[in-house]
């Protein structure tokens, strides 16, 4: 399986990663190799195998519905690049 330049550019947009032309060529090769590996895996016959949701053979523990967390806003906001009136500030995004 091959991956096109367009595919790489689209994935880069979705992942919000800026890649230049040179990197796209390198990624074309690297990601192509990874997809070849996946193709090899896909060749295995899995018709009789139940899809695996998790590699561990265990079930999830659930938690009682009780408040255990306290307000630690000050500590979290101390490491944030920008805050105001208790809000985290981020570059403007409007969808």
Determine, following the binding rule CB under 8 A, whether residue 18 of this chain makes contact with other proteins.
Answer: no
CA distance 3 to 5: 7
Determine, following the binding rule CB under 8 A, whether residue 14 of this chain makes contact with other proteins.
Answer: yes
Determine, following the binding rule CB under 8 A, whether residue 93 of this chain makes contact with other proteins.
Answer: yes
Contact 25, 8 (CB under 8 A): no
Torsional class of 86: left (φ above 0), alpha (ψ -120 to 50), beta (otherwise)? left
CB of 58 to other proteins, least distance (A): 5
Q: Which residues bind other proteins (CB under 8 A)?
A: 10, 14-16, 51, 53-56, 58-69, 71-73, 76-77, 82, 84-95
């Amino acid at each position: 399986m091959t991956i096109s330049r367009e595919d790489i550019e689209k994935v880069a947009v979705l992942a919000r990663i800026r890649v230049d032309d040179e990197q796209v060529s390198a990624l074309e090769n690297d990601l192509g190799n990874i997809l070849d590996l996946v193709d090899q895996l896909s060749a295995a016959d899995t018709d009789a195998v139940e899809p695996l949701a998790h590699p561990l053979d265990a079930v999830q523990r659930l938690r009682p519905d009780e408040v255990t967390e306290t307000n630690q806003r000050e500590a979290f906001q101390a490491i944030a690049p920008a805050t105001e009136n208790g809000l985290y500030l981020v570059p403007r995004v409007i969808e």
